[in-house]
Amino acid sequence: MSKLIVGLGNPGSQYENTRHNVGFCVIDQLLYQRSPNRFKSVCQSIVIEQPNPEKTGHKLIFAKPMTYMNHSGVAVSMLVEKYGVDLEDLCVLYDDLNLDLGVLRCRRSGTHGGQKGMQSIIKHLNSDAFSRIRIGIGKPNGKFTDHVLTKFSDQETDKIKTVISRATEAVEVFIEDGIDVTMNQFNGKANPTG
* The 90-96 sheet, strands edge to edge: 40-42, 45-51, 59-65, 3-7, 90-96, 131-136, 104-107
Q: Determine the pLDDT at residue 134.
A: 96
Cα 97 from Cα 101, distance rounded (Å):
8
Domain ranges of the chain: 3-186
Nearest to 70 by CA among 149, 1, 134: 149
Q: Determine the pLDDT at residue 102.
A: 92
Residue 138's identity, in one-letter code, is G
| Binned average pLDDT, 10 residues per bin, the chain of 194 residues | 94 91 95 82 95 78 96 98 96 94 94 90 97 91 72 88 96 95 84 45
* Residue 137 · residue 99 · CB < 8 Å: yes
* Residue 7 · residue 25 · CB < 8 Å: yes
Cα 85 from Cα 79, distance rounded (Å):
8
CATH of 3-186, one of 2.40.50.180, 3.30.460.10, 3.40.50.970, 3.40.50.1470: 3.40.50.1470
Residue 133's identity, in one-letter code, is I
Q: Determine the pLDDT at residue 138.
A: 86
Q: Determine the pLDDT at residue 189.
A: 56
* Residue 93 · residue 135 · CB < 8 Å: yes
Q: Determine the pLDDT at residue 147.
A: 72
Catalytic residue positions, numbered:
20
What count of other Cβ atoms lies within 10 Å of the Cβ of residue 20? 24
Q: Determine the pLDDT at residue 145.
A: 66
Q: Determine the pLDDT at residue 192.
A: 47
Q: Determine the pLDDT at residue 141.
A: 74
Strand partners, 60: 3, 50
Cα 12 from Cα 93, distance rounded (Å):
19
Cα 13 from Cα 129, distance rounded (Å):
32
Coil/strand/helix, residue 95: strand
Rg (CA), the chain: 15
